[in-house]
Amino acid sequence: MQSFSARIDFSDPDQPAGPRLRRVFGAPPQTLVAHEPAQVRPVLDAVQAAAEQGCWCVGYLRYEAAPAFDAALAVHAPEGPLAWFAVYDQALPWPEEEAHAASGFQWQDRLPRAAFDAAFNDIQRAIAAGELYQVNFTARMSGLLAQDLPGEDRAGAAPALFAALQRAQPAGYAVYLDTGEEQVLSVSPELFFDWRAGRLLTRPMKGTAPRGATPDEDAARDQGLRTSAKERAENVMIVDLLRNDLSRIAEPFSVRVPRLFHTEALPAVWQMTSDVTAQTRKDCSLADVFAALFPCGSVTGAPKVRAMQMIHALEPGARGVYCGALGVVRPVAGGIAATFNVPIRTVTLQGAALHCGVGSAITSDAQADAEWQEWRHKLAFAERARMPFELLETLALEEGRLRDLPVHLARMAAAAAHFGYPWLQTQVMSCLQALLEVHPKGMWRVRLLLNARGQAEAQAYALPVSPQRVQLELASRAIEEAHGEFVRFKTTHRAHYEAFTPTKPGVFDTVLWNAEGEITECTRGNLALLLDGRWVTPALRCGLLGGIGRANALRDGRLVEAVVRVDELPRVEALAFVNSLRGWIAADLLPG
């Protein structure tokens, strides 16, 4: 396998759905590094000169490089070079899809909720006192590569993790950069700036909403984000900040906002972006562009100087490459092009230790619970990549016939589209046909799997007769992941369900409920409840898997959707466990 020190996979800022800029780079013949603020501008000047001579330069500025442009911008002591660029004589074509060993990791620490609430309250007090309008507060999580566990090989871990992160967060402005001391794995959806032929485009990303559980709910979430006074205010504050920043290097009267409050669908969230453009002055350099814009206002707040002072007071350490700038400066016809992302959705790796930042903008009308949930939604990209997973369907094979096959395939195809897994139904059907030839008789539980490369596998296990009646127990706490994608879609990533595996003898499954106190499902199937004389099942918006058995019962009129709260359980007249494998099983709920 060929070794690469850098990869870029960038959207075209003017045509995001068009051809992508995808290049890889071997060992760099030269690197340009700044360790002190006074060295940052000269490094950027050298980068520009190299690109003007036909070279490609890939590199970063850490967030802590900010005082190189304005001494009033407060930062912590850096944990590495302030700026680092590799200079390449040529860019190589993106290679064919490579097979990488799995590269999972485990988190070692997370920001405690109490610490988050304390910082949130400090920011609210400062806003109320008129000190500022918005602060982008962040935290850093640390983790450990699974390959660092005894007996496992870490070779190729960084490229494998980058590939997993790209599958988890496709499109956008992805960069892999190996400096020798650390690897930067960024799958950022946010463009910091694109500068070419004197035209400077910035696209701040501010305003977030979670994706919906159904197409209708998803559309409603999109519309809600577009029309939210809070989210629009959050966005326009940064637009105004960037208009002011651009005016410092723009030709007179050239600053424009051609697009405002545009929403983009990412795998786990809807994000709001706006475009701010300008024509830069004839004598403007790359260092001047950074001096005017860095750090991006979307990761500081407004006004920038006071916001960064508060960030310095509240955040205990350096942000590093996270919230800095990461990108490429390259030769193009008539000059150079510089394209940098804002390194959010970014993991840095040193040996087996990794770090990942997460944050959100706090404004006067922000709510702590909502911001905390926003952090969880934004971290979904890392959870996708944290451990390899496959898409899963469990089917009943009865006397050579797969029950409800078309709807199972449709659900797996929908999951494949959501997670970006290739879907070749003919290959899946071929896999199932081979299984049917081996098991033409009897009752079997079929486990159909689809991996990230679109390869299907089917396994069959003897299916014992289902019990006539089962016992269920109520979960002792809410399932925090109720509204996450690993609940809405069926996969082999089931740690959130396994945490609720029954421990009492004779208990068949656990009844789950969300943070709002609403009943959702069991860990292996859906629920039916007889309440006020009718059979109901929890609504999808409560956070649950849309099971095939549940869908059949809804279609036949045996069930209707409803919201059932935990405190309503004493009124429930009867219960049933429902899934496509075992059908409808009467159930009793153990007293709590």
The catalytic residue positions are 190, 206
Strand segments, DSSP code E, in 29-172 are 30-34, 56-61, 83-88, 92-93, 105-109, 134-145
Phi, psi of 81 (to 5 degrees): -55, 145
Rg of the chain over CA atoms, in angstroms?
Answer: 26
463 near 436, Cβ under 8 Å? no
Q: How far apart are CA 105 and CA 152, in angstroms?
A: 12
Integer CA distances (angstroms), 519 to 350, 482, 516, 535, 543, in order = 43, 10, 9, 14, 9
Query: Whose CA is closest to 587, among 490, 514, 519, 494?
Result: 519
Q: How far apart are the first and last CA of the chain?
A: 57
120, 123, 125, 129: CA torsion to nearest 10: -160
Query: Whose CA is closest to 143, among 314, 379, 361?
Result: 379
Q: How far apart are CA 390 and CA 408, in angstroms?
A: 15
> Positive or negative CA dihedral for 253, 304, 346, 480?
negative
Integer CA distances (angstroms), 434 to 162, 400, 424, in order = 34, 12, 16
202 near 298, Cβ under 8 Å? no
User: What value, to the nearest 5°, has the Cα angle with vertex 41 and ends 38 and 42?
Assistant: 90
Q: How far apart are CA 85 and CA 93, in angstroms?
A: 20
Strands 469-474 and 583-589: parallel
Q: How far apart are CA 402 and CA 395, in angstroms?
A: 7
Strand segments, DSSP code E, in 147-255 are 173-178, 183-188, 191-196, 199-202, 205-210
